[in-house]
Structure formats: structure tokens, C-alpha cells
Chain A
Amino acid sequence: MRAALFAGLLAMASRPSTGRQVASGETLAEALRHRDPTAWSQIFEQEAPKLYRYIISRVGSPEDAEDLVARTFEEGWRHAHSFEDRGLPPRAWLFGIARHLTASHRRRLFRQPPELRIDVVEQSAEEADPELLDLARAIASLPRADAEVVMLRFVHGLTAQEVALVLNSTVEAVKSRQARALRRLRQLLRDSVSETATSATSHAGGKTPPRREQSEL
């Protein structure tokens, strides 16, 4: 009994320290993996706003977005040992965590939250720019895989390599998908312009210039 008591006290006394100073030659990735509070605070300041924009564009609620952003960093902290330095900024890894948490957030009837909520864009636009709203509607009506690439790649500004990491895919696949997505987007906008022109002509009985010139598309 005394030996077990002594072993327990010895184990409690020799627990490893959780905080450590960032070594001079240590990279940010190593500091994050070692759970350096300074490095994690730095990455929080850099990526929290971007993650918030990504999450709220899918869930719509500011409270849910705050909660998911915090949980993203908590998950990252908890699994910091699994972060691999692939020569990319840590934000791709954090976006992957956020994507996973958002997909399982309040899942209804096995359906994930959409890649883009139109109401979020409508509320954010200071002036109701009809072209941007048309673009947002076109993105929202794309197939999920195409919409996801467009949002991550162009709206949220991730590189093709980062998008490949987030989607657990290859860079070549991301390039092909972005090309296909932009082609479909262009076709959707053309169709939308044609429908607008046709309906305006039939109602007004005359020529009405479309909002977006077809030559631009």
C-alpha cells in the first residue's frame, strides 16, 4: 500500500509542463504542434475572422458561427500533435476542421448546411448590388462540390493547394473542378440574363437592356 501511494505521488509530481517558450529555430508549425500559447494566440488573431466568414456563410447565425469558430480552435488545440507541416499555412488545416464541424452542425435529415446562404449575402450587402446577388444565387444553385470549390477558392481566398488539403483531394482535381465550376457558373448567369431579358421584353413590350451584358459573360 505504501509503495502504491508513493508511486501515485511521484506520478502526480512529475507531470510534463504544458507551456514552453518558442525556441529560436522553431517554426510556427512546430510551435503549434507543441501547443505554444503564443503561437496559438497569433494564429487565432490571423485566422479567426476568416473562419468566421466561412462558417457564417454556411450556417447563417452569428451565435452559431462564434461557437463553431471557438470549437474549431479548441479542436485544433486538442489535436495539435496531428498537425503536419506540409509547407502550407495552418489555415488550411483549420479550415478543414471548420468544414467538418460545420457539416455536422445541426444536420437536418442527413443534409449538410448549404455552401452559401443567400440571406447572409443579402444582409451583408450595404447597397443591394443586383449583379453580386445574381452571382451569389448562381453559386448557391451550383452542385455542392462545385459551389464548395468556388467558395473556398475565390470567395475565401484559399490557394489550390490549400483547397486540396481542405477537401482531402489533389491539386489537379481542384484545378479541374474549379474550371468546371466556373464554366457552369457562367452558363447559369447567361441563362439568368436571358430569362430576365425575355420576361422584361414580354412584360414591357419593348427592349429592356439586361443588367449584365451577355458579351461580358
Chain B
Amino acid sequence: MDDFAQRLHDALVGRIPPSPDVAPLVRLAAEAAQLPLPEPTADALARMRQRFEESIRPRQGRTLLGWMGIGPHPAPRAYRLAAGLAAAAIAFSGGSWAAGSTPWDAAVAVGKFFGNAAQSLRPGASTGEGGARTPEHEKEALGTPVGTATPTDTPTPTHTPTPAPTATLPANDGVVPPTATPDPTPDDDEGADRDSGEDDEEDESHHADGEDDS
């Protein structure tokens, strides 16, 4: 800090008389102290005082928010924990007696409920449609075991999709591998449709003969 700042400060607090170089600044500071600013009215002071007194007034008992740790007068954490345990004990006792069982049975039932809920919400335990669906429900709905691929049991050429170039055909001895052009059979009309045009022409000629005959 330079000497000027120290001399100015000493002059401002009245420790030393102001020197010629700091005197104008001391006058300026004195003028700034005269700046008019609003004062609070009596009503405003009363309102502020009342609000503050309400916030610091000792209470006979803590509010519910205080026991939850919220507000200007939160209960200490240990007290809140003890109060929570007491409330839980009362709730268990009352509920279990009303249900005709013991508090221990009620606690076990609650634990089972949460365990079942956690199990049901586990990924893969359901189809994601919400709610717990048992594997039996899945099988009934889809007709196939859950979690397994669905191979075609009786493949037919019409229902066999064209395999992708990089697809790996499953090795299954009991299933006829799909082919792009199945072997034609004489009595197989569908296979004849896919064959070359000779048979078509032959058919057309038969039809034509038939028409001519008639």
C-alpha cells in the first residue's frame, strides 16, 4: 500500500490533519456521507420486527416440518432419527394389531412385498409392458418358451424368408434349409409357378386347345 493511501486513511479517521493533497478527497468523503437515502417508516420497522420475532420465538413443540428437517428450526438429526423409529414402531404395531397379526409378521410381509417388487422389476423378468408377468403368462401369450429363439417348426418354401448374405443358417437336421429356388415337382403348382416359362406355355397351349375345341 502506498503512502498516499495510508495518509488519506489517517486523515479520514481524524488521526492526522489532512495534507493539501488529501484534503479535497477528505471533503469529498464527507459530502458522500451526506447523501440522502430513505429511512424505514415506523410501520415498516414494526413489520420487520414482527416477522423477525415470529421467526425466533421459542416454540412449545417443533412443527412437523421441523421434525422433517425443513424450516428455520430443524430438529437435530439424532432426534429426527429417533422420532422416525418411534413413528415406524407405532405404525407397525398399530397396523399389525388391526390386521390381527404380530408386528414381526407385518415386518416380514413388508419385506416380502419389496422383495417381490424388486424381482418383478428386474430386466428380463417381464416383457416390459408393466406389471409382473410370470413365465407361464408369457408362454401362454406367445406360445413359445420365454427367452428362447423361435425356430420354424415346419418350414415351407412360401413362408421361408430369403436369408441375408451374412446370416448364419442354424444347423438343424430336422429342418429343410431354405433355398431360393426349390426343386420343382410335377404336381406342385406353386413350384411350377416359379419355374421357367416352358410349363406356362404348355399350359397356355392346353388352354388354347381347349378353347378351340369348344
Contact = CB atoms under 8 A, between A and B. Distances in A.
B47 interface: yes
A47 B36 CA distance: 18
B35 A155 contact: yes
Contacts of A66: 40, 44, 47-48
Interface string A123-147: 1111000011001100100000000
Nearest to B1: A172
B8 A73 contact: no
Interface stretch (A11-19, A85-93, A101-109, A202-210): A11-19
Contacts of B58: 17-19, 37
A8 B9 CA distance: 60
B38 interface: yes
A141 B36 CA distance: 18
B28 interface: yes
Given A5-B86, A121-B37, A126-B36, A70 B25 contact: no
B56 A37 contact: yes
A139 to B, nearest CB: 7
Contacts of B37: 53, 56-57, 120-121, 124, 155
Contacts of A49: 39-40, 45
A123 B12 CA distance: 29
B34 A182 contact: no
Nearest to A189: B28
Contacts of B56: 35, 37, 40, 77
Interface size class of B (residues with CB under 8 A): 35 or more
Contacts of B79: 11-12, 15
Interface in A1-45: 1-2, 4-5, 7-12, 15, 17-19, 35, 37, 40-41, 44
A136 B53 CA distance: 35
Interface of chain B: mostly helix, strand, loop or mixed: helix
Nearest to B107: A1
Interface in A178-196: 178-179, 182-183, 185-186, 189
Contacts of B12: 178
Contacts of B78: 11
B35 A52 contact: no
B39 A4 contact: no
Nearest to A215: B24
A62 B49 contact: no
Contacts of A4: 85-86, 88-89
A5 B52 contact: no
Given A5-B86, A175-B1, A182-B28, A74 B72 contact: yes
B103 interface: yes
Nearest to A49: B40
B67 to A, nearest CB: 9
Given A62-B44, A70-B52, A8 B86 contact: yes
A5 B35 contact: no
Contacts of B1: 172, 175-176
A175 B9 contact: yes
B35 A132 contact: yes
15 contacts: A1-B103, A9-B86, A15-B62, A15-B76, A44-B49, A48-B49, A52-B40, A53-B39, A66-B44, A132-B36, A155-B32, A157-B33, A175-B9, A179-B4, A179-B8
